[in-house]
């Protein structure tokens, strides 16, 4: 996994500024898995801030242009990365599809929506990497449809060990705009968290399950 | 409901050309409701054709610019209109949110994703109007959140009577790029359907339930 150091500080700052990332050690957030965590990232908020929305899409497009020459198709993971993904596709003047982590239950709709000619050289756009499971499921769904997967790029990662594990197959072709470590540094510099809180947040990152269990 | 006659023919032609709309009287499609229909529209295919994707977003943005001066927020109905909606928001340099027809089951996620300050003058973007039920549910969800709803715009409508019924509240502020009637005219002109098939398709439009029941 490659963190784009040239963007990481700026992106982390913006995500904190617009409350796309919230930190709260005292009153942790309940994730959809049921686990408690001192951090919550909602990159859909980026969509409501046109300047930051454009900067994120341009940064992702720049990475794709330089790292994946010859890319033919941009795919976005549903639902969080549909909007970010299509903006990236628009910057690159490329076709776009979106992919669900699980197949749709009814109708003609399939796991991949849009027109994806088999063999297309494809880059997947993800809004957030937490455990890496749904990103990998989307990546594999495209592969099974016959796409030639070049790699993946994402806006933010929590730096969890299990994400590295789950995304092992793509690790050399996965580019992320910013990450948890940079976020903590930025939050501390801005006086948003104390040294003690930073310590707690790092303890969570090192073992999210133990951290949650100790508080449930 | 206002059909934009200046765009309607061209848009219908493009939707047929890229197979976003399929017509088949002999082997009808099964809709998610379980009903059989001789037509199926999948406007997500538009996303995979950059030129047509841009034309659609520009046309929707033009309508919003001229019909809804002072608009502050663009909302898209999930999942089909997330991508179209954010492209429209990008053309207008406006904030974007997306709205589910039903609330999300888990996590911090709510029915509306993104940041929508109450009181925002909002236009809803929809990819397709069939019964009008999910469009109206999304519209009402935004209203209940305190948005000032200016109106709605959509890419295509099947011209069903029940849509007019369900969308009655918004009928004077609902703009659609193309419709079933224009589609049939275009398909006939291009020799894609016979006069007899056109007759069948019209019979379906007039009473979709009876048409389906007669074939189930």
pLDDT tens-digit map of A46-57 = 999 999 999 999
Supply the DSSP symbol for B160. Answer: -
Range with the poorest average pLDDT among A71-85, A87-101, B91-105, B175-189: B91-105
**Which chain B residues are Cβ-neighbours of A37 within 8 angstroms?**
none
Q: Do B50 and A114 touch (CB under 8 A)?
A: no
Residue B39: closest C-alpha in chain A: A108
pTM of the model as a whole: 0.96
Query: Could you give the CA distance from residue B116 to residue B122 in angstroms, rounded to a whole number?
Result: 9
Any A CB within 8 A of B78 CB: yes
Q: What phi, psi does A156 have (nearest 5°)?
A: -150, 145
Give the pLDDT means over successive 10-residue stretches in chain B (216 positions): 91 97 96 93 98 98 98 97 98 97 65 96 97 95 96 97 94 96 97 97 97 94
What pLDDT is stored for residue A105 in this prediction? 61
Instruction: Please confirm whether the linkage preceding A26 is cis (ω < 30° from 0).
Output: no
> What is the pLDDT at residue B160?
96
Q: pLDDT tens across A156-188, in order?
A: 999 999 999 999 999 899 999 999 999 999 999
Answer whether A24 touches B (CB < 8 Å): no
Inter-residue contact B85 to B99 (CB < 8 Å): no
The beta-carbon neighbor of A79 closest among B53, B78, B116 is B78
Q: Report strand pairing: B148-157 vs B121-129.
A: parallel
In the predicted structure, residue A108 carries a pLDDT above the cut 80: no
Count CA atoms closer than 13 A to B30's CA, side-chain side.
5
Compare all CA atoms of chain A with the CA of B95 and give the residue at the minimum distance. Answer: A48
Distance CA B197, CA B25 (A): 7
Nearest chain A residue to B96, by CA: A48
**Interchain pair A114, B44: CB under 8 A:** yes
Q: How far is A51 from chain B (nearest CA, A)?
A: 8
Dihedral (Cα; B195, B196, B200, B202), 10-degree rounding: 20
Which residues face A98 on adjacent strands? A76, A113
- How distant is the Cα of B121 from the closest Cα of chain A, in angstroms? 14
pLDDT for the residue numbered B109? 52
Q: How far apart are CA A80 and CA A97, in angstroms?
A: 13
pLDDT at A157: 97
* B104 contacts A42 by C-beta, under 8 angstroms: no
Measured CA to CA, the distance from residue B180 to residue B131 in angstroms comes to 13
Q: What is the structure's pLDDT at A190?
A: 95
A95 contacts on B by Cβ (under 8 Å) = 47-50
């Amino acid at each position: 996994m490659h963190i784009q150091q040239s963007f990481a500080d700026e992106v982390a700052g913006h995500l904190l500024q617009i409350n796309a990332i919230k930190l709260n050690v005292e009153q942790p957030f309940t994730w959809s898995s049921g686990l408690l965590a001192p951090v919550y990232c909602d990159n859909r908020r980026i969509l409501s801030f046109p300047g930051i929305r454009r900067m994120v899409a341009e940064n992702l497009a720049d990475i794709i242009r330089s790292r994946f020459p010859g890319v033919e198709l941009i795919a976005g993971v549903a639902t969080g990365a549909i909007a970010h993904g299509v903006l990236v596709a628009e910057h690159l003047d490329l076709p776009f599809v979106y992919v669900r982590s699980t197949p749709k239950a009814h109708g003609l709709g399939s796991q991949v929506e849009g027109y994806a000619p088999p063999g297309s050289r494809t880059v997947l756009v993800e809004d957030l990497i937490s455990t890496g499971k749904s990103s990998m499921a989307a990546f594999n769904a495209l592969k099974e449809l016959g796409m030639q997967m070049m790699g993946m790029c994402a806006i933010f990662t929590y730096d969890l060990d299990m994400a590295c594990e789950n995304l092992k197959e793509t690790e050399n072709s996965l580019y992320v705009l910013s990450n948890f470590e940079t976020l903590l540094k930025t939050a501390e510099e801005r006086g948003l968290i104390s040294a003690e809180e930073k310590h707690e947040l790092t303890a969570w990152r090192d073992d999210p399950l133990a951290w949650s269990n100790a508080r449930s």
